[in-house]
Amino acid sequence: TGTGGSTGATGTYPEENITFVVPFSAGGPTDTVTRMIAEPMAAKLGGKIVVQNVEGAGGTVGAGEVARAEPDGYTVLMHHIGMSTAPALYQNLDYKPLEDFETIGLVTEVPMTIVARKDFQPSTLQDLVTYVKANADKVTLANAGIGAASHLCGLLFQTAVGVKLQEVPYEGTGPALTDLVGGQVDFMCDQTTNTTGQISAGEVKAYAVTTPERVKSLPDVPTTTEAGLPQLQVSVWHGLYAPKGTPQDVVAKLSEALKVALADQKVIDQMAKLGTAPVPAESATPQAHRAKLEEQLGTWAKVIADAGVKAAS
């Protein structure tokens, strides 16, 4: 039609509030990172960004909703590594990562931590391995649903150790961490952006970080390699997506605003406190993001197939 409004001329974008969909619970790691960048992005765009949590099924409910949203730049998805694992984990996923979205740019890569309720018996990662082997029928492992980062990390853990544990799914690791602190579940794998506060406060026990290097904000927590489980390596990359067909100049504006947000000293400081950092500017582009997504889809399809995981319906 071209007469303005949300699907017409894009030169004046944004003319209304932009919704950033977070496919997990409020207060969790994806939500935290999204809220950090939303404000400086909105300032750069000259509009308002509203964060909306559309949780369920390991992030696939929110992603599916954005895939089907109007491609007008007013619905944007923040998603993470789960965008590249879900196709291998679900038989009937209702979206295709490479075909149904425009990539906007990468945001951050977050280390994971293996954390337990503070009175859980094992005191080191090696103890944990021994303990879960001996008690596989009673140990509970929390995650944010099939396709979540916590689910993937839990799979890698169980594969490395050779056990099958009882998994307790939540709609995000925000509520899972609450239950871990409360002692309702035994342990989980979760991002430093969620666990740093509780680890530092001694509210949960941390066994290891899943990155090659220690995390600066958690200097006492060993790496999985140091702690004897070098196979367990994963960091949780995040990116912003728009529905396929969103005008290229709108995607470019969002990508520019993302770059500005990632260079914001307040964002850099907030991320550093939680064990992470913005990606370099050259990664906050549609091209770099798409290349990463393509590579990760291949990597995880193979890892998940090799682990003998059966896809859910």
254 with 101: CB under 8 angstroms?
A: no
| Chain position carrying tokens 């979205």 | 101
In the complex with ligand MLT, the residue whose CB is nearer, 54 or 139, is 54
* Separation of alpha carbons 219 and 217, rounded Å: 6
Beta strand extents in 23-118 (DSSP E only): 49-53, 75-80, 101-117
- 1 Cβ contact list (under 8 Å, min separation 6): 7, 8
Nearest distance from C-beta of residue 25 to ligand MLT, angstroms: 5
Minimum CB distance to ligand MLT, residue 210 (Å): 12
Q: Say whether residue 28 binds ligand MLT (CB under 6 A).
A: yes
CB 12 within 8 A of CB 44: no
Q: Is residue 274 a contact residue for ligand MLT (CB under 6 A)?
A: no
If one asks whether residue 30 binds ligand MLT (CB under 6 A), the answer comes out as yes
CB atoms within 10 A of CB 86: 27
Contact range with ligand MLT by CB under 6 A, out of 8-16, 71-79, 167-175, 297-305: 167-175
3-state helix, strand, coil in the chain (%, to 5): 40, 20, 40
Say how many residues touch ligand MLT, by CB under 6 A: 15
| 13, 20, 29, 115: which one binds ligand MLT (CB under 6 A) | 29
Spatial distance between the Cα atoms of 165 and 188, rounded to a whole number of angstroms: 11
Among 85, 173, 211, 255, binds ligand MLT (CB under 6 A): 173
Q: How far is the CB of 176 from ligand MLT (least distance, A)?
A: 8
Residue 58 CB, nearest approach to ligand MLT (Å)? 7
Instruction: Please report whether residue 206 would count as binding ligand MLT according to CB under 6 A.
Output: no
Segment (H or E) for 20: strand 18-22
Residues in the chain: 313
Residues from 137 through 166 that contact ligand MLT (CB under 6 A): 144, 148-150
The tokens describing 143, both together, are 């995650």
Nearest to 62 by CA among 70, 53, 71: 53
Q: In whole angstroms, how close is the CB of 98 to ligand MLT at the nearest point?
A: 20
Residue of the chain from 71, 97, 154, 172 that contacts ligand MLT (CB under 6 A) = 172
Task: Considering the complex, state which of residue 173 and residue 210 has its C-beta at the smaller distance from ligand MLT.
Answer: 173
Helix (H) or strand (E) holding 189: strand 187-191
Instruction: State which of positions 51-80 bind ligand MLT (CB under 6 A).
Output: 80
Site of interaction with ligand MLT (CB under 6 A): 24-25, 28-31, 80, 82, 144, 148-150, 172-174
